[in-house]
A and B are shown apart, each in its own frame.
Chain A
C-alpha cells in the first residue's frame, strides 16, 4: 500500500462512517472503524525488519508544486515507532470505545469521524518530511482534538475544555509555523532531511535562535509543558477513550516527536539544551507535585501525564548534549535519548491502561471522585489488577517497565556531572535532586491513585451506581496494555533492538549511522555500586512515608492561594483580552460621527504634515505664476466675507444666501480664469442648489440651536484647530505641488487635435463627450441614481409601515 495512502486511510474511512452509522444500526459502528488501525498496524509492523537494518522509506506526492510544497511520507526508526504507537493504541482504544460508548445513547457517527480524522492527522505529523505538510497535519490534530474534547457539547465544562485546549495549542501551532518559515528561509528548503544535512550552516544564521524558540513554543504547548500544561487537565472532559488515546499516548507526544525530530538541527545550540532540559524538569516536578492534590481520577492521570511528558522532554534535552561533547561522553548522553524513547513507549502502555481503568471505574460506579470511591478491590478484581500493574509501573517499581526507564532516567540526570558546558558543571546537581523529589511525588500519587480507589472502605451510598466488574470486552484493551507493561520488563532488550534503537539512530544520525551501532543494553539490575539504585530505594522509602502521612500534609495544598495558579492566569488573560478589547473599542468607537471625522481629519493632518516635514517637501517658487490682478483680489475678499458670514450667522436664510454668494463668486472666478463652460454650469447649478436649500430648509430647524454655553467653547476650539490644520495642509501642499511641476501637461495634444481629430472647436466640450466620454457617461449615471434615490426617499415610507406593524417586527 502506498505510504501516503496509508496516512489517509482512516480519514477516507471516516467519509463512510456516517453512512454505516445510519444504515447498520444494529452493529456498533466501532467495529467498522476498527478495520483502519488494524490494517495499518500490520502494515507498519511489516516495515520493522527493514527499519531495524537502518533502511528508510520515502514517498512524495506533490501538493502545490509551484511553491515547492508536497506531502512527503518518510519512515525511519522514529516515525515508525510513533506510527506503531498511533495505530496500535488506536486499535485498542477503538476496541475499548466499542464497549465504553453506548450505541443507542451516543452519537457514534460524530465520535468515530473525529477519531479517524485525528488518526490521519497524527500519522501525518509523524511521517511528514515536509515542514508545511507537518504543520498542516499538526493543526488537524488540534482541530480534531477540539472536536473530541467537546464531544459532549451540551456540557459547559466540555466546551470550556475544548476551547482552552484549542486556544493554547493553536497559539503554539502558529508560533511553530513561524519557526518553520524561518527554518525554510535559512535552509531554502522545507524538507527536514535536507535541513538536517545543512544543520551546521543554519546554526550560524541570525534567525536561528528565533526559529528555535518559536518551534519549541509549538512543541511545549502541544506536549503540555510548563506553563502551557493547563489545557490538559481541562481536556479530561472528553470521553475516556479520547483521554487515553489523545491525551496520554499520542497527541501530547507530538511535541516530543517534534523535539526529537529536530534535535539534529537545533541541538548545536546551548539554548536548546537548556530550554528543553530545564522546562522538562520543571514540568516533571510541577506535574507530579500537583497530581497528589487532585481528587478526580482523570485529573490525577492528567497531571501525571504532564509530569511524565516533562521527564521525557528533559531526557531529550540531556540527549542533545551529545552534540556538544566528544569521545566516550557522546554515548553517555545518547543514552539519555535512548531512555527518553524507551520511557515514551512505556508511558504509552501504562498510562493508556490507567486511563481505561479510570474510565471503567467511572462507567461502573458513576463517579470519578476519589473521595467517594474505595474498597472496589473485591468488586472489580480484574480492573484492580490492571490498575495495580499500571500504577506500580508508573511509580517505578521492579517487575514493571516503568522501573527500567526510571532507572535510566536517574542515571541520565546523574551523567550531567560530566558536562563542562554552559555552567552545567556547577548547576547540574539541581537536576537529579529535582528529578528525585519529583519521582517521590510520582510514587505517592501512583499509590494514592490505585489504593484510594480500590482499597479502604467501600461506601455504596455515595456512588450513583451499584459497583460491579466491567464487561469483559472493556477489559481487553487495558489487559493487553498491562500485559505489555510486564512483558517489556522481562524482554527489554528485544524491545530496545526492535523499536528504540532505530529511533535513537534517527534522532542522533551523526553518532549512529545504523540502528545496530546503538550499543545500549537495558538491565534491571545495575549492581550495588550504582547510585541510581540508592536513589530508587530512597524514592520507595520516602514515598511510602509520605503516602502514609498523606492526610496530615495534604492540607498544605489547600493553603496555597488559588489566584496565582496558572489556570487563574489563563482565565485572567482571557478575561483581560475580552474586556480589554471591549474597553478599547468603546473608548474610540463612540458612535458619534464627529469623533470619527476628527480621527479622519486628524490622521490626514498628521500624515501629510509629517510627510512634508520628513521629506522636506515644502517648496515655494515664485516662477511661472500668473500676475495678481485687482479684480481677483476683490473676488477673493468676497469669498472670504461670504464664508465668514456662513460661519458666524445664526440665521438659516443668511447662511444659504452667503453660500449662494460664494458659489456665484466662484462662477466669476471661472470667468476670469477663462472657463466659460464652467461659469455657465456653476451659475445654473448654484441657482438650483440655493433653491433646493431654501426648499429643504423651510422644513428644517434653526441653525444654532445645539450650541450651549461653556461646554461648547471646548467643542468649538477642537473643531477650529482641526479645521485650521486641514486648511493649512491643503494650502501648503497646493503651493508645493504648484511650485515643482515635473512634466508638461498633455493638454497640448487636445489643443492641437481638437479640430482635426474630433471636428470640434470647444476643447472642453470635446474632451467631455469625445476624448473622455466615459467620464460623462457615468456622471450621467450618478445624476440618474441621485434623482432615483431622492424619489425613493420621498415616496417610499417603509418606516411608517413598520410603525403600523410594530408588534410583528419586534
Chain B
C-alpha cells in the first residue's frame, strides 16, 4: 500500500510542479493546492498505513494508527489553508492592480530592479 501511495504522491507532486511552472497565476495557486495535498498524504504514508483503529482510546483496542503524523498534518492543513487564502486574495489584488495574470509579464523593469 505504502509503495502505491508513494507513487500516487509522486504523481501529485509532478502535477503540482507542472502547474506552478505555468504562466497563469491561477494555475500556480491550484498547483500549490495540489502540492499541499501531496505533502499531507506523504506525511500520513510515511507514518505507516497499517493502523487498525483510529487513535481514539477505546476498550480492547491495541492497534491504533500513529497519532503523531495526524497531529502534524492537522497543523499543516490549517497553515496551508491560511497561505492559500492569502495568496488567492493576493492574486486577485494583483490582477486588479497590474491588469494581467501572466507571470511572464510581471517582471522588474530596468528602472526598478
Contact mask B64-96 → A, CB, 8 Å, 1/0?
111110110111011101111110111111011
- Per the 8 Å Cβ criterion, residues 770-797 of A in contact with B are 772, 775-776, 779, 782-783, 785-787, 789-790, 793-794
A15 CB → nearest B CB, Å: 43
Judge whether A727 and B14 touch: CB under 8 Å.
yes
Q: Is the CB of B56 within 8 A of A750?
A: no
**Interface pair B12/A731, CB less than 8 Å apart:** no
Contact status B55-A720, CB under 8 Å: no
Residues of B within 8 A of A670 (CB): 44
Q: Given A734-B42, A762-B55, A693–B101 Cβ distance below 8 Å?
A: no
Interface residue from A620, A628, A730, A762 paired with B13 (Cβ < 8 Å):
A730
CB of B10 within 8 A of CB of A689, answer no
Tell me the minimal C-beta distance from B56 to chain A in angstroms. 5
Q: CB-CB < 8 A to B13: which residues of A?
A: 723, 726-727, 730-731
Which residue in B44, B68, B71, B102 is a CB contact (below 8 Å) of A706? B102
| Contact partners of A673 in chain B: CB under 8 A | 44, 49, 51, 65
Within the complex, the shortest CB–CB distance from B97 to chain A, in Å, comes to: 6
Stretch at the interface among A466-474, A505-513, A680-688: A680-688
Taking each of A591, A643, A666, which has the highest tally of chain B beta carbons within 10 Å of its own beta carbon?
A643
Q: Beta-carbon contacts of A648-664 to B below 8 Å, as 1s and 0s?
A: 00001001100100110
Residues of A within 8 A of B70 (CB): 675, 677-678, 764
When the two chains form their complex, are residues B66 and A688 in contact, meaning their CB atoms are under 8 A apart?
Answer: no
Q: Note all chain A residues with C-beta closer than 8 A to B92.
A: 696, 699-700
Which chain A residue lies CB-closest to B99?
Answer: A701
In the complex, residue of chain B having the shortest beta-carbon distance to the beta carbon of A665:
B37
Q: When the two chains form the complex, which single residue of B1, B10, B55 contacts A731, counting CB atoms closer than 8 Å?
A: B10
B24-A703 in contact (CB<8A): yes
The DSSP consensus for interface residues of chain A is helix
Is A764 within 8 A of B55, CB to CB?
yes
B56 touches A692 (CB 8 A): no
What is the bound-complex CA distance between A720 and B19, given in angstroms? Answer: 9
Whether A669 contacts B77 in the complex (CB less than 8 A), given A662-B34, A726-B17, comes out as: no
CB nearest neighbor in A for B100: A701
C-alpha spacing A629/B4, complex, angstroms: 11
Partner of A647, one of B19, B46, B86: B19
Q: Looking at the complex, which one of B52, B67, B86 makes contact with A789 (CB distance below 8 Å)?
A: B86
Given A701-B95, A782-B79: A726 in contact with B55 (beta carbons within 8 A): no
Among the 9-residue stretches A266-274, A411-419, A593-601, the one with 4 or more Cβ atoms under 8 Å from chain B is A593-601
A646 touches B1 (CB 8 A): no
- The interface residues of chain B lying within 8 Å CB-to-CB of A737 are 46
User: Contacts of A677 on B, CB cut-off 8 Å?
Assistant: 70, 74
A786's partner among B22, B73, B82, B95 (CB-CB below 8 A) is B82
- B residues within 8 A CB of A703? 24, 26-27
A residues near B (Cβ < 8 Å) are 590-594, 597-598, 601, 620, 622, 624-629, 632-633, 636, 639-640, 643-644, 646-647, 652, 655-656, 659, 662-663, 666, 669-670, 673-678, 681-682, 685, 688-689, 692-693, 696-697, 699-701, 703-707, 718-720, 722-724, 726-732, 734-735, 737-738, 745-747, 750-751, 754-755, 761-764, 767-768, 772, 775-776, 779, 782-783, 785-787, 789-790, 793-794, 799
The 4 closest A-B pairs by CB, nearest first: A727-B14, A731-B10, A786-B82, A723-B18
Instruction: Write 29 A-B pairs (CB below 8 A) sorted by A numbering.
Output: A590-B107, A594-B103, A624-B50, A646-B30, A669-B41, A674-B64, A675-B65, A675-B70, A676-B56, A677-B70, A681-B74, A681-B78, A692-B84, A693-B88, A700-B91, A704-B24, A722-B21, A726-B17, A730-B6, A731-B6, A734-B9, A738-B45, A745-B68, A750-B68, A761-B57, A763-B67, A767-B71, A786-B85, A787-B82
